[in-house]
Structure 1
């Protein structure tokens, strides 16, 4: 019999526990946070630039992105978020959104009211620290992405992204051996890496040709983790994983 899907809060708890070990009491508190679950199609807006949200988004299934548009309408994807992530947690303290968040694939998300999160944080200071740590880790990932796009060539950029996504998905129990789901198009990878879709296609072909990845539909397999890690100049330090999740 297949295992039943986790409760919405279980994804959040798993993610937080990977960066900030939680007590059993704290897990119970988070388990009882009210979450409104919604299913979204691919390329559906979740929250937009300039909005004043009263809730935070929790990714439950699929992939979402943070992006901004240039005046010419060109999109830069600035972050990808996997199940367990809360991409707009900062909206607890920054009233106006300065980014937009959208689904990349069809996905399931949960919404947690700000007032419920604040109530929990007031009662349990360690959970305040856990959520604060999550926003700090997000900032650390942004810094690494800036280096990736600004100073690495396309081959290294893509290898690094594959390493990061595998590591983050593994931390929340969503990898199978060296295989993971990557429901993203080449156009979306182009917007993420700052290169053209044609260049993405050639770079994927190069990584496959060198035996660093294997792809089948939306699944990626990593035959040799050490070789991919070397090709991507990947050091997981910036993910700040704790305990059994640390590299």
Structure 2
């Protein structure tokens, strides 16, 4: 894949918006992004966090319009692959096609885990589960340094992902820190006691599949 069409975008820039005609496939090269929806009352639900190496919208071109938005969280370098080029690449290179399909299946598995959290996990379990997921995904691509991960997610953004208020998530993060499980300070996530946070979250990494092959 050529990254000749890679472009640097500022933070909080919409790569594509709900209702837009589907465009190219996006590949995040550097930085963080997210999928989200805006409700009629203005509330936001974050649907997924995207890290370097993640791709977006392999098959959305089959639809008439986007049903969600994609926005950068930090300044991000994003490559685009036009739909026809991607189709030809997948047809002519079976290994690329297989890798893209696996990536999409892992995304779907992650979404199922998020739905389970929203529906059945307590607020503390929900926060712990997301922290486990983000840490392991980031570690797998080399983003952690000496057990600490730079996590560029505000408490408001985390609240929008977890269906909580910012006040509530602040309280849960404080409780997890006091228990000695993890600490989130000034944008840095430290997993203090991996066994404890895994136990609190009821975390199982099976749904991440190949994202954890190197971790």
Q: How high is the TM-score relative to the length of structure 2?
A: 0.93
Match of 2:74 among 83, 105, 118: 105
Query: Alignment partner of 1:169: what SS?
Result: helix
Mark the runs of 5 or more structure 1 residues left unpaired by the alignment.
1-29
Tell me the equivalent position of 1:121. 90
Is this contact kept in 2: 1:52–1:96, CA < 8 A? yes
Tell me the equivalent position of 1:161. 130
Mark the runs of 5 or more structure 2 residues left unpaired by the alignment.
none
Once the two structures are superposed, residues 25-57 of structure 1 have per-residue CA deviations (whole angstroms, 9 ceiling, x without a partner) of: xxxxx3xx2442222222211111121233111
- Taking the TM superposition and a 5 Å limit, the aligned residue runs for 1:67-86 are 67-86=36-55
Taking structure 1 as reference, are residues 42 and 242 closer, same or farther at Cα in structure 2, changes over 3 Å only?
Answer: closer
- Taking the TM superposition and a 5 Å limit, the aligned residue runs for 1:201-216 are 201-216=170-185
How well do the aligned residues superpose, as a CA RMSD in angstroms?
1.7
- Taking the TM superposition and a 5 Å limit, the aligned residue runs for 1:87-236 are 87-236=56-205
Taking structure 1 as reference, are residues 52 and 141 closer, same or farther at Cα in structure 2, changes over 3 Å only?
Answer: same
Taking structure 1 as reference, are residues 51 and 83 closer, same or farther at Cα in structure 2, changes over 3 Å only?
Answer: same
Query: Alignment partner of 1:108: what SS?
Result: strand
Matched, 1:41 2:10: yes
Moved over 6 A (4+): none
Tell me the equivalent position of 1:25. none
**Count of equivalent residues:** 215
For residues 190 and 161 of structure 2, what CA distance do their matches in structure 1 show?
A: 20
Comparing 208-217 with 188-197, greater Cα deviation is found at 208-217
For residues 49 and 189 of structure 2, what CA distance do their matches in structure 1 show?
A: 16
Tell me the equivalent position of 1:56. 25
State the 1:204 CA deviation.
Answer: 0.9
